[in-house]
A and B are shown apart, each in its own frame.
Chain A
Amino acid sequence: MKAEYINPFLTSTISAFETMLGCTLTRGTPYIKNGSQPEHEVSGVIGLSGQAKGTVVLGLGREAAISAAEALLQERPPEINGDVTDAVGELANIIAGSAKAKLEHLQLSVSLPTVITGKGHCVEFPRQVTPICIPFESAWGPVTVEVGLTAQLT
């Protein structure tokens, strides 16, 4: 996957957390994701299509997901419920939408978000895609964004 595809997702994630949640993210070193081991309890998944095709996954631990919903709604959900999945889905949507604007030449379309919850869930990427994982640290615990995007041959 081209490195130029990564930066827009990185900056969009930092911006979305800072602006909408008041949460500062500290970036770790991006790495190639191997295998399908899940790292988080809540995943917001967005499909991308256009002159490149792929998936972006926003992964949050239980505390980060609940705290994100609390920051958005000014009320703390007692557990991972519909408010939390709505919040994570919309965050994923905003991150993908903002990154899309920075990758204008790819003419991307963004799918509606899907949110997966539960310990031990897996989000698999297609075999031909090499996903890059961008890890972040926050006051609510770790957050990751995984991006798997390949140029479409025309």
Chain B
Amino acid sequence: MTKTLLVTDDALIIRQIIKDMATNAGWEVVGEAANGQEAIDRYRELRPDAVTLDLVMPDHDGLHALHGIMEFDPEAKVLVVSALEQRGVLKNAFKAGAADFVAKPFDKQNLQATLDQLLPEGSS
């Protein structure tokens, strides 16, 4: 079964890069979100297998999204893809339930490998 992904980043170009990478790796990108609240709304609507999440976004940020998504689905697989902010922010992301973290600037192969590890073959 195809694994489904929701891509969240305020930068259109980063969403495009992640979408291209994920599609080439066999994921189905079912939706995009440009801020934290949109990520929560799209997650509830689409129920993807995994989410990539930027932490620094205008309006509602990534931590807001992480809390909202984990509250709705404690089993959600959320991969934080963000510039390495202060350690406290990252710590809060893991505390809130982030499954893993890839720092920007990211290498596409590293991002793909980390994403694939969220959902080992046959688990979707």
Contacts and interface: CB of A to CB of B under 8 A. Distances in A.
Contacts of B58: 112
Q: Report, as a range, how many residues of chain B touch the other chain.
A: 20 to 34
A72 B105 CA distance: 11
Interface stretch (B31-39, B45-53, B81-89, B92-100): B81-89
A63 B30 CA distance: 34
B20 interface: yes
Interface in B52-85: 56, 58, 82-85
A144 interface: no
Contacts of A107: 86
A72 B58 CA distance: 23
B83 A97 contact: yes
Contacts of A100: 83, 85-86
Interface residues of A, number: 23
Interface stretch (A26-34, A83-91, A118-126, A145-153): A83-91
B25 interface: no
A19 interface: yes
Contact of B83 (A19, A83, A89, A94): A94
Given A97-B104, A100-B83, A90 B56 contact: no
Contacts of A114: none
B78 to A, nearest CB: 19
A98 B83 contact: yes
Nearest to B24: A74
5 contacts: A83-B13, A89-B11, A93-B11, A98-B83, A98-B84
A133 B7 CA distance: 35
Nearest to A113: B11
